[in-house]
A and B are shown apart, each in its own frame.
Chain A
């Protein structure tokens, strides 16, 4: 966790707005400016040879958008799909991606001083993808660097090194 990231994410004086959501019993927050829309979980079209947490793709008004289940990826909570299951559609750079979460809770404003560095262990996420921890009322909220997480190799949503080396001529 480094200071610059935190400064960048929590920039303005009045703080920045975050969307909080739950995975199992844990509370998380992500930068609301990355959120395109929130919708219910719908049938997905499965993609072969993809990791289990990539549920498949959906049609989002003509765009073919992949859906990933963060609960499965980080092994938090029960993975069930019902009419209350929520998909947060994010826009990361020019790409859309849907993220399945248990519930969306609130929009909160966090100032720089509200976010404290996260411990190296004790949360399900690798600390690389965390901006820090914040206290909201009684509960602790884990603030995620969603952009870094989604574009990571670990999620494997994007063709990166492997593809570009393939298409390059000698």
Chain B
């Protein structure tokens, strides 16, 4: 029995954590001026569910806090209490406390009762202050004409016979309610006046649309005061100054939805769409252990290998049977590919799982630093392997904090530079071929080239004679490039950048930096879509097959006679359309035993990695195929220049090249010589 309970505990902890995340997410993006009923409901439900669960399992500390929280949220939900930024702050902090308590219960540690009591007191204080004084309803009062239904509330500001809920007396009287949970019934009554004509379903949209205009203090907008249906469309046309000013009134942290020049109307429309999608998603999902998924992926990988072996055998079968076999195998190939894609997609999650925490991070940090910063999140629906997302959180957090801390200047500095006081940090994800690109961009001061060079010289870091910007930016990722006074007066950007770079490289990705003085800095992370499969080009060098990841390949060619130049008698250069490419002989670097062809008779594959380009000299191109990446490290160890291995159709092993690491070879001629012995 005790095991059973433990199981329930685990899922309770997990679900509660999700509820808290959801609550935080909503709190971060909610429009304070006129929060949508959906959002308020969700927050309330989160607290309510945690309270319910903690009651069942006897987690008193959780119960105490969530109980007060629930009461408070209920009033907010019933629109008796405005969701002010102070309240949001308290709720966020309460969320943190709840996480701590959850963690304590989960780890079997002692309950931090002082924190519990503090959180409870803070909430109770808010409740009391509300009960004591009749509270104005700013979201309602300031926008009477836009929604006819809201007109009721300020029209009857009768504070309260018994409990201060007097505002709602007319409504509650109409709707029969039971004692403690009357608030539930109040909800529809609170929402329905918004859209008396178009039905409750559209009420939310009307409200969202209204949100755009509600921010502005002016109430003379011509689109207001007309029925919600028109109201919903109106902001779309309202690309005028007033809509612009509404943006200005939004909280310093934007909702994590793509923000476009189209203005706030688009934002809120997408917000509603996103919510609908999310709720339908929740209702149909199941929770599966990732181990099971991984097992499935492995099995499918095996299946793909077996299938390509079958295809090999099929080539030897002649006559009628051969044709039949080929046809059937063709079908099998299609099915397996689809199966593989579906299974892989199970592991894919939208990157919002990683992005969702950043509004909070930016908000807290910006508040602490006294800066005002908008976080703009784009492309959070981009899908990425779950394992990658988890491992991305740390490097991303570092980059975002970096941008907020060191990237964006202080308000005064921004003003002096003629920029708007409010800085922007953009978190953007997009898919580019077989890669996912994640960017952290700020419109701050940019990196200071001279200071970085000075610092590098001080530290004796190797530096080319005429370093390009790119070379210079790479310097901040040198280990221990600790940067007090390098970039800003407070501290520098290099802190831990080497760790970020290494973490990203460990995921098979790379980190690029773009920066312009006075205009900002962009860190872009390029990652493979998944860790398990790569599209590659099979090539031969000597008697061995190698796989070059397709993402690295620019083109391949048979060199013309005379296009290969020799440098210092050793290094070769390939001249292609007036560009010289250093040549790396694959057979030599990989120490292939059987002799390889000389440069003039071999094939050159032009490859690129991390903006470093070179020509890879191979004997023969075999063909393009999708290969399952097998770990070399599982039974052996990491090999330089090799990203992994795969199993070929004949059952043999081929190494998948790590072009980035080979490029390191290519730039240092000493290693070249050493490896060509």
| A residues adjacent to B (C-beta < 8 A) | 43-50, 56-59, 62-66, 95-97, 156-159, 163, 166-167, 169-170
Contacts and interface: CB of A to CB of B under 8 A. Distances in A.
A46 B592 contact: yes
B593 A46 contact: yes
Interface string B570-598: 00000000000000000001111100000
A167 B633 CA distance: 14
B635 A45 contact: no
Contacts of A56: 653
B323 interface: no
B502 interface: yes
Interface in B634-677: 634-642, 645, 647, 651-655, 675
Contact of B635 (A50, A64, A156): A64
Interface string B299-342: 00110010000000000000000000000000000000000000
Nearest to B301: A62
Contact of B589 (A43, A44, A48, A169): A48
Contacts of B220: none
Given A48-B589, A64-B634, A64-B635, A57 B499 contact: no
Interface in B602-656: 630-642, 645, 647, 651-655
Contacts of B640: 48-49
B647 A46 contact: no
A51 to B, nearest CB: 12
A163 B589 contact: no
Contacts, number: 86
Given A65-B635, A157-B637, A45 B652 contact: yes
Interface of B: 298, 301-302, 305, 480, 496, 499, 502-503, 506, 544, 589-593, 630-642, 645, 647, 651-655, 675
B645 A57 contact: yes
A64 B637 CA distance: 11
B544 A59 contact: no
A50 B675 CA distance: 12
A69 to B, nearest CB: 14
B654 A45 contact: yes
B653 A57 contact: yes
B302 A58 contact: no
Contacts of A95: 634-635
Nearest to B495: A170
A77 to B, nearest CB: 21
A46 B635 contact: no
25 contacts: A43-B652, A44-B653, A45-B654, A46-B590, A46-B592, A46-B593, A48-B639, A48-B641, A48-B675, A49-B640, A56-B653, A57-B636, A57-B645, A59-B651, A59-B653, A62-B301, A63-B630, A63-B634, A64-B634, A64-B645, A64-B647, A66-B635, A95-B634, A159-B633, A170-B499
Given A62-B305, A64-B632, 4 more contacts: A46-B590, A46-B593, A47-B636, A170-B496
B639 A96 contact: no
The 7 closest A-B pairs by CB, nearest first: A45-B653, A159-B637, A66-B636, A48-B590, A48-B591, A169-B499, A64-B645
Q: Of residues B502, B632, B636, B641, which shows the largest number of chain A Cβ atoms within 10 Å of its Cβ? A: B636
A46 B544 contact: yes
A170 B497 CA distance: 11
A63 B590 contact: no
Contacts of B655: 45, 47
Nearest to B628: A62
B631 A45 contact: no
A46 B655 CA distance: 9
Contacts of B642: 47-48
Contacts of B647: 59, 62, 64
Nearest to A56: B653
Contact of A63 (B496, B635, B638): B635
B646 to A, nearest CB: 9
Contacts of A48: 589-591, 639-642, 675
Contacts of B298: 62
A156 B589 CA distance: 20
Contacts of B544: 45-46
A98 to B, nearest CB: 9
A48 B642 CA distance: 9
A167 B503 CA distance: 8
A159 B635 CA distance: 10
A47 B635 contact: no
A47 B636 CA distance: 11
Contacts of A158: 636-637
Nearest to A92: B635
A59 B632 CA distance: 11
Q: Of residues B593, B631, B647, B675, which shows the largest number of chain A Cβ atoms within 10 Å of its Cβ? A: B647
A64 B631 contact: yes
B639 to A, nearest CB: 6
A116 to B, nearest CB: 34
A123 B633 CA distance: 32
Q: Of residues A62, A97, A158, which shows the largest number of chain B Cβ atoms within 10 Å of its Cβ? A: A62
Contacts of A59: 647, 651-653
Contact of A50 (B305, B639, B654): B639
A45 B645 contact: yes
A62 B302 contact: yes
Nearest to B638: A159
B247 to A, nearest CB: 39
A95 B305 CA distance: 22
A59 B631 CA distance: 11
A57 B642 CA distance: 13
A135 B361 CA distance: 71
Q: Of residues A45, A56, A58, which shows the largest number of chain B Cβ atoms within 10 Å of its Cβ? A: A45
Contacts of A58: 653
A22 B637 CA distance: 28
A49 B634 contact: no
A169 B398 CA distance: 13
A62 B593 contact: no
A73 to B, nearest CB: 16
A22 to B, nearest CB: 25
Nearest to B590: A48
Contact of B630 (A44, A62, A159): A62
A26 B243 CA distance: 89
Contacts of A166: 502
